[in-house]
Chain A
Amino acid sequence: MKSKPKIAIIKFASCDGCQLTLLDAEDELLAIADAVDLAHFAEASSRLDAGPYDVAIVEGSITTEDDRLRLLRLRDECRWMVTIGACATSGGIQALRNFADHEEFIRAVYATPETIHSLATSTPIASHVRVDFELRGCPVDKSQLLEVLSSLIAGHRPRTSTESVCQPCKRKGTICVVVAQGIPCLGPITQSGCGSICPAFDRGCYGCFGPTVQPNMAGHSQGVLLPRMSERDAVNLLRGFNAAAPSFQQESVRLWQITQTRDSTR
């Protein structure tokens, strides 16, 4: 991709935080604007060119039928599709509805529930169309996002590490909060990318970058979470920004079932 790639930044159900990460890259923004053809970036410009695009950078999850159809059309209009952020890659925090009664939520929240046409689930982009590269995080990390953009410009696959959050944590010299303070942490089963920020501030990892490639979820619950918190609290910790990432979801459902069985035998 040696000529200036035509890029569209498109959003679905999301908070816009990932796009803001791009706007936050103040030092690099001019260079980006110079190196690519930003055909559609509603956060930054009123220029909203129609497709086709070389690359669609997609933020947000699919939560309405209209959005689902809009995504299918977009996929036909772009050569490469890169999804950014927890919403687009796993369904986001709004996927908490997947574990509950969606109709009941609507009735509780809206004065006129009949005007709301949303789907019962929040799903990642890759559940609907082919995605070429997924960038994790809530929000995505600025330098990883720049790595994706620079790779697109240079024409190679972006290099993002698949190691656990523990490794940058250790390279920085941060003291493990699990071992030294007994604080539960999702770091061992979460993919790095944020720079292991939370443990450096005496907090456990919240799992913003989703599961590692081969997470040992049950071993983690057994050895890291449950000695330090109840099953219910562990379910809540796993149901964060990546609640519907398959391994996080399976584990939170498994732990939830344990609490249910115990309650029913009481």
Chain B
Amino acid sequence: MTPIHLGNNSDATSTSSKSSSNHTQDRNQWPHGFLPKEQFPAFIDLLNQSFDEVIGPRVDQGAIVYDAIRSASELPHGWTDVQSPGVYRLERKSSIDDSRIDPSCEEEYFGYNVGPHSWKKYLFPPLTTLMKSKKTTDGWQMEMTAEPIRRRVLLGVRACELAAIAIQDKVFLTSGTVDPIYQTRRNHLLIIAVNCTQAASTCFCTSMNSGPECRSGFDLAMTELSDGFLVEVGSDAGQTIFESLKLRTVTTDEIDRGRTRRARAVDQITKRMNTDGIRDRLLSQLENPHWNDIASRCLSCANCTMVCPTCFCSSVDEVHELTDDEIVRQRRWDSCFNVDISHLSGGPVRDTIRSRYRQWLTHKLATWIDQFDTSGCVGCGRCITWCPVGIDLTKEVATLCEESS
């Protein structure tokens, strides 16, 4: 196989001048092909041979998580997720009676939506060592920790997740300061997206204009049919792999079936959020008594921010062993729900659950727009499912903005 040049699946990381690597404008000029199901295991093997790591979905501890995948047999074939506020259940598609499931396609590899993990853990790791310093006879010696470069495939990235990666690209790459850890990891990714063919009750990507169809930001995108995958190229790196697969062209019947399957997802999305003028509408409700009602339910546990694919807060600690002549600087995911995060001299600025929830929601949906020219929410619904008390931000927004709308 010819060498694969990575890192050109986004505008943010693209260094070349407007090349053909971003396909949004001339989407149909990129080739489409058909990958039969029988050839899919060999495709996963090929990815494993060509990259250091293939990250994809697998079943673990009662959920579909993202982890290293060494063969197609490790994928959640035939599994699905049933989600509602505060509830997630992993089910065998064949054993549940759910109108969302396409009876012609029960044994899918990608027949679920999104789980507790997000790809963010591979780009913005939960815990990272930034630097080590050592006291020597010559004074302190600092050493930046350079991570070994790992070329990764992200397999099974959904449209909302592509949108989340694009948002984190803004945060970590193009809004002023470049995060070198994120940048290195981001530049060595091959993104294989998967179009959703069903939706969870918690999904609202259509309201956030982020899905369910993958439109940009991938190297390859696939739509799963009962007998194979429609494969679409989205970048030069994707093109290289596509060529090595030697796929036959798709038939009009396959194109139609793919379109029908993708439309199923759109039809199944019932959750909505009215985003018209949401910035001003939400910010005009800062004194709404409903914040108190939310605060009586919210536990300030921070689960919502941990699972959110766009939340980016972290804190940095200097950790030392027993003696203080060797110090390690560590960064870990932090959250606006922690009292300590707003601790200034004299105490915390946001000293109540009310103020912390309000900070989270208004940042995510309103002031994020001022800061990054985009909403901080892609409508993946993770914060709804993984909130242990099932707080649903779309409902809270609707209640908060009731009067003004």
Question: Interface residues, chain A, CB within 8 Å of chain B?
Answer: 28, 31-32, 35, 146, 149-150, 153-154, 159, 161-164, 166-167, 170-176, 178-182, 185, 187-189, 202, 212-216, 218-220, 222-224
Contact = CB atoms under 8 A, between A and B. Distances in A.
Interface in B76-99: 86-90
Contacts of B297: 216, 219, 222-223
A216 B320 contact: no
A111 B386 CA distance: 53
A166 B389 contact: no
Interface string B320-361: 111110000000111100111000000000011100000000
B321 A150 contact: yes
Contacts of B258: none
B322 A153 contact: yes
19 contacts: A32-B322, A146-B321, A161-B340, A164-B301, A166-B302, A170-B116, A170-B307, A171-B127, A173-B65, A173-B117, A176-B116, A181-B62, A212-B300, A214-B352, A215-B299, A218-B296, A222-B389, A223-B388, A223-B390
B340 A167 contact: no
B317 interface: yes
Contacts of B335: 163, 167
Interface of A, secondary structure class, is helix
Contacts of A176: 88, 116, 303, 386, 388
Contacts of B324: 150, 153-154
Given A212-B300, A214-B339, 4 more contacts: A153-B324, A163-B302, A214-B300, A215-B299
Contact of B86 (A32, A179, A212): A179
Closest 8 CB pairs of A and B: A223-B389, A170-B306, A188-B301, A171-B126, A175-B61, A188-B299, A154-B324, A166-B301
A146 B61 contact: no
Given A173-B121, A176-B116, A179-B88, A167 B296 contact: no
A180 B389 contact: no
B373 interface: no
Contacts of B62: 175, 180-181
Contacts of B65: 173, 175
Interface string B368-396: 00000000000000000110111000000
Contact of B296 (A146, A175, A216): A216
B319 to A, nearest CB: 8
Nearest to A180: B62
A180 B299 contact: no
B380 to A, nearest CB: 15
B323 A35 contact: yes
A220 B121 CA distance: 28
A185 B320 CA distance: 32
Given A176-B386, A188-B301, A224-B389, A171 B306 contact: yes
B191 interface: no
Contacts of A212: 300
A146 B61 CA distance: 32
Contacts of A167: 301-302, 306, 333, 335, 338
Contacts of A170: 116, 126, 302-303, 306-307, 333
B353 A216 contact: yes
A182 B390 CA distance: 12
A108 B65 CA distance: 52
Given A150-B321, A162-B339, A166-B303, A179 B87 contact: yes
Contacts of B385: 179
A219 B296 contact: yes
Nearest to A178: B388
A31 B325 CA distance: 13
B63 interface: yes
A163 B322 contact: no
Nearest to A150: B322
B60 interface: yes
Contacts of A187: 301, 388
A135 to B, nearest CB: 16
A35 B321 CA distance: 12
Contacts of B389: 219-220, 222-224
Contacts of B199: none
A32 B323 CA distance: 9
A166 B306 contact: yes
A171 B301 contact: no
B298 interface: yes
Nearest to B60: A175
A180 B388 contact: no
Interface string B103-131: 00000000000001100010000110000
A150 B319 CA distance: 10
Given A173-B121, A180-B63, A162 B299 contact: no
A180 B88 contact: yes
A189 B299 contact: yes
Nearest to B125: A171
Nearest to A167: B302
A126 B189 CA distance: 53
Contacts of A185: 388
Residue from B88, B301, B317, B324 with most neighbouring chain A CB atoms (10 Å): B301
Contacts of A146: 321-322
B367 to A, nearest CB: 23
A136 B353 CA distance: 23
A28 B339 contact: no
B126 A188 contact: no
